[in-house]
Amino acid sequence: MTQHDVKQEIGRFYNEVGWQIEQDGNFQNAQYEDLRPVSAEYIARAHARVARHLPKSGRYLLDAGSGPVQYDAYLQYSKGFERRVCLDLSFVALRQARAKLGAHGWCVVADIAHLPFKPEAFDGIVSLHTIHHLPADEKPGCYLGLYERLSPGGSMVTVDGWSEHKLRKTWTLLIRLAERLRRDKKPGQAAGAQSAPAESKPAGTYVVKNSAAWFKAAVGSQLPAQILTWRSVSVHFLRTVIQPEWGGKFWLKVLYRLEECFPRYFGENGQYPLIVIRKPE
C-alpha cells in the first residue's frame, strides 16, 4: 500500500465511520475510550496532563489531527489562545470542530506530514493519537515539520501509543487474571447483579505504533524531546481490570500517583507516552 493509499484509507474511515455519531450520541471513535464512571477521574487527569505542558496563552495553537475536538477537556488547551487552528484529513471531523469552536477555531483539511503553514507560525502545538496513523518512515519528518512550525519559546505535545513496552507483560497478566475471575463469578452471580461489559473491538484503520527505543533513535536524537506518561494502561486494561466492585477508583488513584512520581518510567514503559518538545527562545 502506497503512502497515498494509506492517507486515502484513513480519510475515508474517519469520514464514513470514525466521526459518525451513533445511537448513544457518541462518535464511533469513542469506542476506543473507556467512558464508564469508574474510570472518569483517571481519564480526566490524563487529559489535564496535556495542558500542563502547553503554553497558557498565545496567538495560534495548532491542533494537528484535531478530529472534531472530541472531548470537552480538549477545549482547555486553546483557552488562552486567540485562535485554535484545527488540521485534519477528515472534512466531517472539521465540520464538527467548527460547530464546537465557533469563531475561535480555524479549520484546514491537510496532511499532518505535509503542513501548509509557514515556519514558527504557532506558539503551541498539540497532536493527539494522530502520528501513529502515519507510515513509520514519515514519522520523523512529521515531528521535524511540527517543530519547524513552532515559534521560539513555544512547546508542542503529542500523545501516541507504544506497540512494545516493558509493562505489557504485567498488564497482560492482570487482564487474564481479571478475565478468569469474571468467568468464575458468572455461575454464582447474585440475583440482579450485572457483569462487566465485554471488551468491544471497534472497526479501525491503518495504525503503526513503535517503541520508546525507536523514538529515541529516530526522533529524540534530532529534537529536544521528553518522554513522559499520558496513561500507562490501555482501554482493554481499564475495561477488564478496573471494576467498581473491585475498588477500581481506588486502584486508578494509586496508578495515577505512581505515574506522577515516575513519569519518565511510565512514559517509556507504559502504553501511551506524552511527548513534550520545547523550542528554545
- State the average pLDDT over residues 130-149: 94
Within a domain: 180:
no
pLDDT, position 44: 96
56-60: long-range contacts, CB 8 A cutoff, minimum separation 24: 56/80, 57/81, 57/123, 58/82, 58/122, 58/123, 58/124, 58/151, 58/154, 59/83, 59/123, 60/84, 60/85, 60/121, 60/122, 60/123, 60/124
- State the average pLDDT over residues 135-149: 95
pLDDT, position 196: 43
pLDDT, position 201: 44
In this structure, are residues 196 and 119 in contact, taking their beta carbons and an 8 Å threshold? no
Within a domain: 182:
no
Between 185 and 173, the higher pLDDT residue: 173
- State the average pLDDT over residues 11-30: 74
On the question of pLDDT at 189 being above 60, the answer is: no
What residues make up the domain containing 225? 3-165+199-278
Within a domain: 41:
yes
On the question of pLDDT at 184 being above 90, the answer is: no
Percent of the chain with pLDDT over 70: 90
Between 127 and 185, the higher pLDDT residue: 127
Q: How many domains does the chain have?
A: 1
Within a domain: 241:
yes
Whole-number Å distance between alpha carbons of 194 and 214: 43
pLDDT, position 1: 61
Within a domain: 75:
yes
Within a domain: 33:
yes
Q: What is the mean pLDDT of the chain?
A: 89
Residue 189 CB partners (closer than 8 Å, separation 6+): 195
For 206-225, the pLDDT digits (tens) are 788 899 999 999 999 999 99
pLDDT, position 7: 73
CA distances from 112 to 116, 143, 145, 210 (A): 9, 9, 9, 18
Within a domain: 177:
no
- pLDDT classification of 202: cutoffs 50, 70, 90: very low
Return the CATH number at 46: 3.40.50.150
Within a domain: 213:
yes
Whole-number Å distance between alpha carbons of 46 and 204: 23
80-89, 95-104, 155-164, 202-211: least confident range: 202-211
On the question of pLDDT at 194 being above 60, the answer is: no
On the question of pLDDT at 247 being above 80, the answer is: yes
- State the average pLDDT over residues 103-116: 95
Between 4 and 124, the higher pLDDT residue: 124
